[in-house]
Amino acid sequence: MPATIFKGSIAFGLVSVPVQLIAAAESKQVTLHQVHKADGGRVRNKKICERDEKELANDEIAKAYTAPDGQVAVLTDEDFDHLPLPSAHEIALERFVAVDEIDPAMWSTAYLAEPEPKRPGKPYVLLRDALAEAGVVGIARVALRTRESLCAVRAMGELLVVQLLRWPDEVRDRSGMHVPDDTLHRNELRMAMDLIKGMSRDFSMDDLPPDHYREALEQLVEAKLDDAPLPETPSAEAQGGQVMDLMDALKKSVAETKDGSGPKKKTPAKKTAARKRKAS
* One domain for residues 99 and 148: yes
Cα–Cα dist 220/246, whole Å = 35
CATH for 122: 2.40.290.10
Q: Lowest-confidence range among 53-62, 68-77, 239-248?
A: 239-248
- Tell me the pTM: 0.66
Q: Is the dihedral of CA 29, 34, 39, 44 positive or negative?
A: negative
* One domain for residues 123 and 238: no
* One domain for residues 19 and 146: yes
Which is higher by pLDDT, 20 or 217?
20
Cβ-based neighbours of 109, under 8 Å, separated by 6 or more: 23, 24, 163, 164
* One domain for residues 151 and 192: no
* One domain for residues 158 and 22: yes
* One domain for residues 23 and 120: yes
* One domain for residues 148 and 250: no
* One domain for residues 107 and 24: yes
pLDDT digits (tens, 9 = 90+) for 173-188: 988 888 888 888 888 8
Domain residues for the domain of 223 are 186-196+209-280
Strands 15-23 and 72-75: unpaired
* One domain for residues 19 and 123: yes
* One domain for residues 220 and 275: yes
pLDDT at position 19 is 93
* One domain for residues 150 and 191: no
> Is residue 270 scored above 60 in pLDDT?
no
> Is residue 151 scored above 70 in pLDDT?
yes
Count of domains for the chain: 2
pLDDT digits (tens, 9 = 90+) for 60-100: 998 888 989 989 898 887 777 777 777 778 899 999 999 99
What's the mean pLDDT in 49-70?
90
* One domain for residues 115 and 219: no
Asked, for residue 86, whether it belongs to a domain, the answer is yes
As beta bridge partners, residue 72 has 66
Asked, for residue 93, whether it belongs to a domain, the answer is yes
